[in-house]
């Protein structure tokens, strides 16, 4: 759906463009330029690195910054301890990186940097990015499960107390629900971020179009839309946090299945 | 019916799913709040389960959004 003249195109913000004259970069015959998506991933990593580096001073009485970083690691630590138990300790680095990466990506994509002419790009609103994150979590679950339990890992598909006459049905359902996990994990984050950004863009197009068509329409439609937009912005900050938390939480639940079977 | 208009009507129908997911998410948080007020001491320990229920209910609404987006922009 092409943008018509003078209209706001809500999908334009998701377009991926090569930056810094790298349109013709090729790696092994594939066309791989440095895109705005890659740029914002790099910015996220740098911001995350600075954030964590500020908390590594190891003071006995922590300052504010160290307190912030320690509360984040403590949060992930208690999440894993509650869901996996003592065996969850070794997953703290992975879940912490995953959670903070997604959280920083979501929040950086929401920053109102458009005021100074920089347009933030939320790369978590692309299925290719969230899909890779989900496949990574799923692969770790598979590796840990087969490493620890061998072929006994397949008992995951037969819950305790399944009656024998249901043996033809329950393993199939469990297998499907297991295989659907990476898709649901990736789809949830991707759609939540994309839906929020489309919604903000649509509301902003209401404000702009009604303002352009005169004072009356601007007052009747533009001002309520603008108020709603501010409220939705607050909601989006909440969603950014919740989606990062849900991703980390579900990954730790799946790791619990791999660690302890069920 | 024109295929293009059928697509848009289908996308509108998919919005029903989003509304249903709203009911579901409201149900999750409403039930949690109701029982948390009855027993505030046990509420904090159940927050993980609260968000698992929220995620499960929300996913179905997000799927209907995906169906609408595919109908409008892809199909």
Q: How far is B63 from chain A (nearest CA, A)?
A: 8
- The two counts, helices (H) then strands (E), for chain B are 3, 0
HSE on the CB side for A241, CA within 13 Å? 6
| Number of independent structural domains in chain A | 1
Whether the CB of B73 is below 8 Å from some CB of chain A: the reply is yes
Q: Does A101 map to a domain?
A: yes
Confidence check on the interface: ipTM exceeds 0.85, yes or no: no
Tell me the per-residue pLDDT of A227-239, one tens digit each, with 9 for 90 and over.
Answer: 998 999 999 999 8
Q: Would residue B15 count as lying in a domain?
A: no
> Is B31 a domain residue?
yes
Tell me the whole-structure pTM to 2 decimals. Answer: 0.85
Assess if residue A5 is contained within a domain. no
CB proximity B50 to A under 8 Å: no
Task: Specify the residue for token string 């290719």.
Answer: A128
Residue B11 inside a domain? The answer is no
Q: Which residue of A has its CA nearest to B59?
A: A188
How many domains is chain B built from?
Answer: 1
Domain range for A91: 33-260
Query: Is residue B2 in a domain?
Result: no
Question: Which residues have a Cβ under 8 Å from the Cβ of A66 and sit 6 or more positions away?
Answer: A54, A55, A56, A57, A59
The answer to whether position B6 is within a domain reads: no
Q: Is residue A215 assigned to a domain?
A: yes
Domain that holds residue B57: 20-74
> Which residues from B are below 8 Å from A194, CB to CB?
69
Residues of B in Cβ contact (< 8 Å) with A187: 59, 62-63, 66
Over residues A163-208, the pLDDT tens digits come to 788 778 888 888 898 888 899 899 889 988 888 888 888 888 888 8
């Amino acid at each position: 759906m092409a943008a018509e003249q003078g209209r706001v195109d809500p999908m334009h913000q998701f377009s991926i463009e090569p930056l810094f004259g790298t349109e013709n970069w090729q790696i092994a015959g594939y066309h791989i330029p440095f895109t705005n998506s890659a740029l914002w991933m790099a910015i996220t990593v740098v911001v995350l690195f600075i954030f964590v580096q500020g908390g590594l001073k190891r003071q006995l009485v922590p300052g504010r910054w160290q307190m912030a970083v320690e509360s984040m690691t403590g949060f992930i630590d208690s999440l894993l301890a509650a869901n996996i138990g003592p065996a969850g300790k070794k997953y703290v680095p992975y879940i912490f990186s995953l959670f903070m990466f997604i959280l920083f990506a979501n929040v950086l994509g929401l920053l109102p940097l458009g005021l100074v002419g920089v347009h933030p790009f939320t790369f978590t609103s692309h299925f290719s990015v969230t899909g890779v994150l989900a496949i990574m979590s799923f692969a770790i679950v598979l590796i840990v499960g087969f490493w620890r339990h061998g072929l006994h890992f397949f008992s995951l598909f037969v819950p305790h107390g399944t009656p024998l006459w249901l043996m033809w049905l329950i393993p199939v359902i469990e297998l499907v629900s297991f295989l659907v996990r990476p898709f649901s994990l990736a789809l949830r984050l991707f759609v939540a971020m994309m839906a929020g950004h489309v919604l903000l863009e649509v509301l902003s197009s209401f404000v702009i179009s009604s303002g352009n068509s005169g004072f009356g329409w601007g007052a009747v439609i533009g001002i309520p839309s603008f108020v709603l937009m501010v409220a939705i912005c607050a909601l989006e900050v909440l969603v950014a946090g919740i989606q990062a938390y849900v991703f980390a939480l579900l990954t730790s639940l799946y790791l619990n299945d791999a660690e302890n079977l069920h | 019916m024109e295929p293009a208009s059928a697509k848009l009507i289908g996308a509108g129908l998919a919005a029903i799913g989003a509304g249903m997911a709203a009911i579901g998410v409201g149900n999750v948080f409403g039930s949690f709040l109701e029982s948390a007020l009855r027993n505030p001491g046990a509420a904090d320990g159940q927050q993980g389960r609260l968000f698992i229920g929220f995620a499960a209910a929300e996913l179905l609404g997000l799927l209907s959004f995906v169906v609408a987006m595919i109908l409008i922009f892809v199909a």
